Amino acid sequence: MANKKYENLDTSYRKTFKDFIKCGIERSKTKKDYSSVIQQCSHKKISFLKENRDKTTITWIGHSTFLIQIKGVNILTDPVYANQMALKKRLSEPGILISELPPIDIICISHGHYDHLDFNTLRHFPKKTRFILPIGLKQKFVSKGYKNVHEMKWWESKDFLGINIAFVPSQHWTKRTLFDRNKSHWGGFVFKTSNDCIYHVGDSAYFSGFKEIGKRFKIDTAIIPIGAYEPEWFMKHNHMSPEEAVQAFLDLNAKLFIPMHYGTFKLADDTPLEALERLCSEWKRKKIKPEKLKISLLGETIHPSIVGNKKEEAITY
């Protein structure tokens, strides 16, 4: 398995050296204002989150990092508290500090890219913490002393602490060094109980898999990436535009859309404000009910069963 290369469900496009040169030239000419950062929630429920044992909640910490509480279990997705990514400083502070988190039962990693897997962040959690990983990543964790590690393949599902967790496809890739391109997989997670079904997409371009995921699961809440899409001709094979994210939501036939993967790191040429404006514009153009979109503030705790049924306007920027 060490030399296995993982692939996408749809046909992959391998960028050429010429593509990188063209993109570099375009990006060098792009001047945009990134000073408009995502707002912090003014009424964070830190004490409630530490005591909660029965309510289903979703709290955005930043980028792809969420605290999901379901059936008394605390799940953390793609925890990244790094102050910068490569040479780019973090655009917004985490919504909840590591010290403010409740005890974490499960950490789910969608793939190995540095903005989703940060070992410096993981040092703050006990080595006995249960990790759920894409196939191919386990050895990296074992070599660092983590022992409670579970790998999953696409469409595989297992019960953990009373929650059924499925690992589902995404359209992406991964690489951490010069020698490990696509030697581990990538994907999203579906967290399912008798009352709730939450889907964290991970990192993905738009692809046919969303329709299949929608057929296999009755999704209540879909947490979908909307950022890092410009230049679109270059990024579209790995990331969704806001318009494509809306289509993914429709393909999934989910009840509630929570956007992510924007406003924390400058990974491409789109700004957080642009991503949100395009998302809201497409939402209105498609005439989707406003209450099906919840744009979270950093550190805001969402009760999806309440928000998804509340007749309120989507937050606009």
Q: d(Cα 285, Cα 283) in Å, to the nearest integer?
A: 6
What does the pLDDT look like over 74-128, one tens digit per residue?
999 999 999 998 888 999 999 999 999 999 999 999 999 999 999 999 999 999 9
Residue 244, classified by CB atoms within 10 Å of its CB into exposed (0-12), middle (13-18) or buried (19+), is buried
Calculate what percentage of the chain has a pLDDT beyond 90.
81
Strands 188-192 vs 163-168: parallel, antiparallel or unpaired = antiparallel
pLDDT score of 317 more than 60:
no
Q: d(Cα 298, Cα 116) in Å, to the nearest integer?
A: 17
* Of 107, 70, 109, 48, the residue nearest 300 (C-alpha): 48
Confidence of residue 309 (pLDDT cuts 50, 70, 90): low
What does the pLDDT look like over 183-234, one tens digit per residue?
999 999 999 999 999 999 999 999 999 999 999 999 999 999 999 999 988 8
CA 314 to chain centre: 20
pLDDT score of 2 more than 60:
no
Residue type, 45: K
How high is the pLDDT of residue 193?
96
Report, as an integer, the average pLDDT of 302-315. Answer: 66
pLDDT score of 308 more than 70:
no
Q: d(Cα 63, Cα 180) in Å, to the nearest integer?
A: 24
Report, as an integer, the average pLDDT of 49-73. Answer: 97
Bridge partners of residue 164, in order along the sequence: 159, 192
DSSP H or E segment with residue 44: none
Confidence of residue 310 (pLDDT cuts 50, 70, 90): low
Strands 130-134 vs 106-108: parallel, antiparallel or unpaired = parallel
* Of 50, 59, 54, the residue nearest 70 (C-alpha): 54
